[in-house]
Amino acid sequence: MKYCEGRTMCFRKPSVLDFAAVAGKTENEGPFGGIFDEVIEDNKGGAETWEQAEALFQRRAVGHVLRKSGLEPDRIDLVVAGDLLNQCVGSSYGLKDYYMPFLGIYGACSTFAEGLLLGAALVNAGYMDAVIASTSSHYSTAERQFRFPLNYGGVRTPTSQWTATAAGAALIGSSGKPPFIRAATIGKIEDMGITDLNNMGAAMAGAAYDTLTRHMKHRGTHPENYDLIITGDLGQVGSDLLYDLFRRDGVDIKSRHKDCGMLLYDRTMQDVHAGGSGCGCSAAMMCGHFFGRIRDGELKKVLYCATGALMSPTMVQQGGSIPGIAHCVELSSEQGG
Amino acid sequence: MDYLWAFIVGGILCAAGQLLIDLTKLTPARILVSYVVAGVILGAVGVYQPLVDFAGAGASVPLTGFGNLLAKGVREAVDQSGLIGAVTGGLTSCAAGVTAAIFLGLIAALCFKSGSKINS
Amino acid sequence: MNISNEEYGELTKRRSHNSKLYKTVPMAFLTGGLICTLGQLLTNLYMMTGISRDTASSLTSISLIFLSILFTGLEWYDRIAQHAGAGTLVPITGFANAVASPALEFKSEGYVLGLGAKMFVIAGPVIVYGVSASVVYGIIYYIVGLFMK
């Protein structure tokens, strides 16, 4: 039986069974403080280095999911994880001690959606019963790797975003209970020609537009059919550009749209400029907040479109631009037919 | 009185840098390199030293002053030792600053730990 | 995509709010001016103890470098610099911070390969191009000098 429409995969079986989010001090001081399963106040949690700290965040997020599900690590068929760090060490070092079969993925900040859809596909096809999708990001490791040392007095531009120190993990299986993963569309790499390292939102908006458009076209839906269309971390600039792109097609997406990067922090009180970013940003918001609301039926139909900027400092220094990618997952409180 | 001129000239040089950051695509790193090289050139043609005499630290503290120092050092070294001065003069004149930065940077790295940038 | 990259670039420019010049430029002027004034104060103080102008100037640089690096270590420098912009970047304080911060940051990768190797990862270009420019000047100066004789 074919569960596809166009290149959008449609699922019957998978649900998100359990989910957990771990965050740092700044995230907990934002408007959604208190939603996280664990807050590591000093962003380090006893780790020696920032990279080890990020690994710790992800390890704890998966740990909470295991605890909530009552499953031992050896009952998990697969963990599919990735992060922003070189060689994805947040994931590999964070999860190695669980001894679960591991697939490392890289989607930049779209990683969590990528993990969810891969898990959903494997569960739907019957190959696996329990798949964990997890990801993390950390302000300090992102700055060290992509930008400047932490004590450096460089100025952040108004369009720049604040990498969230957070991790999220979700267990996918088939339980017959919400939130159900109904469909997913895999994104294509969209290069809009943006070369400004400090304006990732602009680099990603084109990809979000393309994936969302294709998803809704294949599903035969419009923005009004969804309670919310949630993007990962387009930020202020990226969101405005997304609205512009949809407006050119005569479609209003603004009324249904929320962006995790803009929600996670209070932009008037916290100095985060254009909003939050990082794999952990949307993962923490989904696992800490949105999955719960869908499970409880408060939100019936939601699109989660995580956006990633496939940015490489090397390529940018060589004069290249920053391509974007976005993966879309459709979640529902009702099981599909 | 010399404080006033130090303030004004130093302020102007920094404000100009800020305008470059905000209005052009130049990154701060490229702007600093331009300032140093500009300082060398202005020092070479003899225009910068009068500014230093007039505004004191207002001209010597900004990075253009560093460039001027390099030019001055090279000039004096060439006068003294001929062509080899072109190679020895620069680093010799700025030795104090560069060495201090290196050594104090090392000490600081040993004593302090990398910050956490908790956004409060 | 329903839009060309050029058009998208235009759209991006419109949607990307830029720095508020009326805030950043005066702040840069103020902080830069203050740092230079402090430098002048130090120079005068040193000269009062009988030190020559040139040595006092060197000592002033060293003092400002010391303060910058201290502030960098205490994590104060970055907080000031966020508001000051070019006001802390252009004076020698910017150079000192650019040397101390990677040394501090990459200490976790070892003293030799981390701290030592990465110390000039930000400030390196200033030395490379400053010194190179001075060498070029020196050669020109020497040749001109030959003709003048």
**DSSP state letters, A244-277:** HHHHTTT---GGGEEEHHHHHS-TTTS--TT-EE
* pLDDT at site A45: 94
Sign of the C-alpha dihedral computed for residues B60, B63, B69 and B71 taken in this order: negative
Neighbours of chain A (3+ CB pairs under 8 A): B, C
What mean pLDDT is predicted for residues C10-33? Answer: 89
Which among A302, A336, A253 has a CA at the least distance from the CA of A116? A302
- C-alpha A291/C-alpha A284 separation (Å) is 10
pLDDT at B119 over 60: no
Which pLDDT band, with edges at 50, 70 and 90, does A336 fall under? low
Closest-CA residue of C relative to A190 is C1
CA distance B53 to chain C (A): 11
The mean-pLDDT minimum among A170-184, B69-83, C17-31 falls in C17-31
* pLDDT at site A160: 86
Kindly report the average pLDDT of chain C as a whole number: 93
Nearest by CB to residue B119, choosing from A26, A42, A50, is A26
Neighbours of chain C (3+ CB pairs under 8 A): A, B
C105 compared with C149, residue with greater pLDDT: C105
Neighbours of chain B (3+ CB pairs under 8 A): A, C
What mean pLDDT is predicted for residues A64-88? Answer: 97
Which pLDDT band, with edges at 50, 70 and 90, does A188 fall under? very high
* pLDDT at site B69: 95
The mean-pLDDT minimum among A229-243, B67-81, C15-29 falls in C15-29
Which of residues 57 through 96 in chain C touch A, CB cutoff 8 A? Answer: 72-73, 75, 77-78, 80-82, 84-85, 88-89, 94
* pLDDT at site A157: 83
Using one digit for the tens of pLDDT, what is the confidence trace for C35-55? 999 999 999 999 999 999 889
Cβ pair A327, A187 in contact under 8 A: yes
* pLDDT at site B116: 64
Closest-CA residue of A relative to B22 is A157
Q: Is B84 in CB contact (< 8 Å) with chain C? A: no
Which of residues 17 through 56 in chain C touch B, CB cutoff 8 A? Answer: 18-19, 21, 24-44
pLDDT at A248 over 50: yes
Q: Is B45 in CB contact (< 8 Å) with chain A? A: no
The verdict on a CB contact (< 8 Å) between A152 and C89 is no
pLDDT at B77 over 50: yes
In sequence order, what are the residues at sequence separation of 6 or more whose Cβ sits closer than 8 angstroms to the Cβ of residue A288? Answer: A21, A23, A32, A35, A36, A37, A168
The enclosing H or E element of A188 equals none
Q: Is B48 in CB contact (< 8 Å) with chain C? A: no
Best B23, B61, B120 residue to mutate vs chain C (most C CBs within 10 Å): B61
* pLDDT at site A271: 85
Query: What's the token pair of residue B40?
Result: 């060398």
Which of residues 95 through 114 in chain B touch A, CB cutoff 8 A? Answer: 114
pLDDT at A105 over 70: yes
Cβ pair A19, A119 in contact under 8 A: no
pTM: 0.92
Q: List b or e across C86-119, with b for residues whose CB sees 16 or more CB atoms inside 10 angstroms.
A: bbbbbbbbbbbbbbbbbbbbbbbbeeeebbbebb
- C-alpha A110/C-alpha A187 separation (Å) is 10
- C-alpha C148/C-alpha A113 separation (Å) is 73
Helix axes C53-73, C21-48, angle to 10 degrees: 130
CA distance C109 to chain B (A): 12
Query: What's the token pair of residue A27?
Result: 């995230």
Using one digit for the tens of pLDDT, what is the confidence trace for C52-92? 988 999 999 999 999 999 999 999 999 999 899 999 999 99
What mean pLDDT is predicted for residues A34-46? Answer: 94
> Scanning the structure block, which residue is given the tokens 């004590």?
A151
What mean pLDDT is predicted for residues A97-108? Answer: 97
Cis peptide before A179 (omega within 30 of 0): yes
Nearest by CB to residue B33, choosing from C85, C100, C129, is C129
Q: What is the 3-state secondary structure (H, E, C) of chain C?
A: CCCCHHHHHHHHHHHCCCCCHHHHHHHHHHHHHHHHHHHHHHHHHHHHCCCCHHHHHHHHHHHHHHHHHHHHHCCCHHHHHHHHCHHHHCEHHHHHHHHHHHHHHHHHHCHHHHHHHHCCCCCHHHHHHHHHHHHHHHHHHHHHHHHHC
* pLDDT at site A153: 85
Sign of the C-alpha dihedral computed for residues B23, B27, B30 and B32 taken in this order: positive
A296 CB neighbour count, 10 Å cutoff: 11
- C-alpha B78/C-alpha C136 separation (Å) is 12
pLDDT at A13 over 80: yes
Which pLDDT band, with edges at 50, 70 and 90, does B118 fall under? low
The mean-pLDDT minimum among A42-56, B3-17, C12-26 falls in C12-26
Which among A62, A101, A108, A58 has a CA at the least distance from the CA of A85? A108
Nearest by CB to residue C19, choosing from A150, A157, A241, is A157
* pLDDT at site B120: 44
- C-alpha A119/C-alpha C75 separation (Å) is 43
Q: What are phi and psi of B102, to 5 degrees?
A: -65, -55
* pLDDT at site A326: 97
* pLDDT at site A273: 86
Cβ pair A280, A250 in contact under 8 A: no
Q: Is C117 in CB contact (< 8 Å) with chain B? A: no
What mean pLDDT is predicted for residues A230-247? Answer: 94
Which pLDDT band, with edges at 50, 70 and 90, does A243 fall under? very high
* pLDDT at site A216: 96
CA distance B92 to chain A (A): 27
